[in-house]
Structure formats: structure tokens, C-alpha cells
Amino acid sequence: VIKCKAAVAWEAGKPLSLEEVEVAPPKAHEVRIKIVATAVCHTDAYTLSGADPEGCFPVILGHEGAGIVESVGEEVTKVKPGDTVIPLYIPQCGECKFCKNPKTNLCQKIRITQGKGLMPDGSSRFTCRGKQVYHFMGTSTFSEYTVVADISVAKIDAAAPLDKVCLLGCGISTGYGAAVNTAKVEPGSTCAVFGLGGVGLAVIMGCKVAEASRIIGIDLNKDKYAKAKEFGATECISPQDFQKPIQEVLVEMTNGGVDYSFECIGNVGVMRAALEACHKGWGVSVIVGVAAAGQEISTRPFQLVTGRTWKGTAFGGWKSVDSVPKLVTDYMSKKIKVDEFVTHTLPFDKINEAFELMHTGK
């Protein structure tokens, strides 16, 4: 058993608490990882807020991390101690019908236990002050050591800087894949990206790599426009600057609507606007943001009857074990940006400050 520091969420709505935790050794088909770097994501904050119906407490959050394999359980063949890895919140077992289907990346092998905050055998590897602590998204990267299923880990280039590539564990991969995998953006097309946080910037990067000719960024926070343009946005607008709904503005700006739109916020009203900003006959709108539990989307069916398509994406459609190492290679060969997404680097004990920076849009 390893004793180490972890940021424990004891209950919903309270700041994370830095604690000494015990991390049990990995069982069969499990891997224990020394986490070197982790990022914070709105999904962590959503669960911490208490709004997540799957949220269990106490829990160690975090799902964008990178580290080194410390030890492996029996029957683990894909990684060994010393390997550089990224934990995966969407695993890839290679055996379930989802993994065998090229149309999806949603491996279901450990979905039920992962959703309950447990390892595949139904137990936890974390204890703190004598209490069992739940896992989160199968990763729990807010701990100096974590245990994950062997199907939830990608071995990556050992030369990769872990304080950067940890972002490929969720945000960057999600946005980039939404553009290149889910929407399949075509050269010369016009795109609109709603929400210019990390995921929105990654969508812009994907649209640019796909050679879109016009990329319109939409956000209320104008401080984000300069960064969006650095990533490839051709122009940025705020819905607050117009008297009419933003979808009408976009339809006018683009002579009938955009070819592709992306919702990167998790707001059902914006999801509708993103669909309705699409061009009649062929426009495709992709939902990337995660809305709160129980919310529903709506539009007039005529929007779809007249040729628009509404899609969604999780982790950018990447089959995780296969794709994450390639994304790291693409970064190392400068095909995709990663460093530019990092605004602040803080010591682990300032993790609550990291969440404050995220909530204020900084």
C-alpha cells in the first residue's frame, strides 16, 4: 500500500481537501500509476457541485492526467513499470461490440462499475482516515498515485512533457476530434464554434487542420477572442452585441448558415442556436458540451426535415488506447498545438485556486 497526497472531495459543494490517502496495490488487470501532472476540467467541477446524478462522495476527482506506471497487477501485458502513460476515462477493451464497431468509441466493458465510482471488481483502491474513497471516471488523477483498469491506459512517447500532454486525456482530444472525426469538416467550409474555452479552442484547431476557410468563434467573454484567433478563428462575435438571436445573425453573416457548428458549453439553449445556425440542406451541428442532468434539447422538427443533422460526440470519437499515443506523436511533430492551451501551472496544493481560475474564465 502506498501512502500519498490526494485532493479529496468529501462532499458536494465544498472545496477539495488535501489529505494523506492509502492507495492499495493493483489487482489482476489493473495498473497503479504515479501521476506527474493533472489538469482541471469543467466535468470535475460539475460533479463537485453536486449536480451530477452519478456523483458519489467522498471521491478523488480528476480525469486529465499523465504519469509513470509504478506497478501492474496479474495478467497485465500492455504496460510495464516505468512506462509513460495517460489514463483514459473512456477505455478500449477491444472485445465488446462497441469496440468492434468502427462507428463508435464508447467501450462499455467497465461502464457500470466506473459510473458507480468503483474498480471493475466492485471495490475501491483508495482509503482515507479509515473510510473508503470512490474513484472518478475510472481515472482519479487528483492523487499522487492512482489505480486504473488496464484497458483504461494508453502508453505514450516517453519523451513527451507530461505537464502538457495530460490535456490530451480529455479537453484537447475532445474538441479536436469533434471537428475531424465527428463532423468530418471539409476544406473550404464555414464553421461556427460556440464557447471559446479549452474545448472550443481545440475545435477551432481541428477546423483549421481540416482546412475550413471561415471559422467564427462565439463567446460572451471578449477576453477569449485573441486566443481564439491565435488558434485559427477568422472572426469572433458576442451574442450580446446583437438585437436578434445569434442563429439569425450567423445565417445572415454566412449567406444561409454555416456548414458545421459546435456547441462547447453544455447549454441547451445554445445547442438549439447552434443547430439553427446551420445551412439548410447540409448543415451539421455537433454537441460537445455536457448539459446538466434532466435537461432536454428542442427545436422545430422542420429544422431536421430540411436537411440539417444533429450529432453528439464523446472524447472526440477517438478509440482511446489506439488514438491517444498517435495524438501525442502529432503534438511532438507539431501537427497539433498543446502548449498554447496551458495558461497557469500551479503546485498540487493550490488545486482549489485552479478551479477558481477556471470558473472566472482565466
In order along its 362 residues, the chain shows pLDDT tens digits of 999 999 999 999 999 999 999 999 999 999 999 999 999 998 999 999 988 888 899 999 999 999 999 999 999 999 999 999 999 999 999 999 999 999 999 999 999 999 999 999 999 999 999 999 999 999 999 999 999 999 999 999 999 999 999 999 999 999 999 999 999 999 999 999 999 999 999 999 999 999 999 999 999 999 999 999 999 999 999 999 999 999 999 999 999 999 999 999 999 999 999 999 999 999 999 999 998 888 999 999 999 999 999 999 999 999 999 999 999 999 999 999 999 999 999 999 999 999 999 998 88
CA distances from 188 to 174, 202, 260 (A): 22, 19, 11
Is 3.40.50.720 the CATH number for 2-169+319-352? no
Residue 104: count other Cβ atoms within 10 Å of its Cβ.
14
Residues in the chain: 362
Q: Annotate 330-341 with b (16+ C-beta within 10 A) or e (fewer).
A: bbbeeebbbeeb
Full-model pTM: 0.95
Cα–Cα distance measured from residue 21 to residue 147, given in angstroms and rounded to the nearest whole number: 13
What are the boundaries of each domain within the chain? Answer: 2-169+319-352, 175-314
Strand, helix or coil for residue 284: strand
Which CATH number is 175-314 given? 3.40.50.720
Cα–Cα distance measured from residue 186 to residue 289, given in angstroms and rounded to the nearest whole number: 22
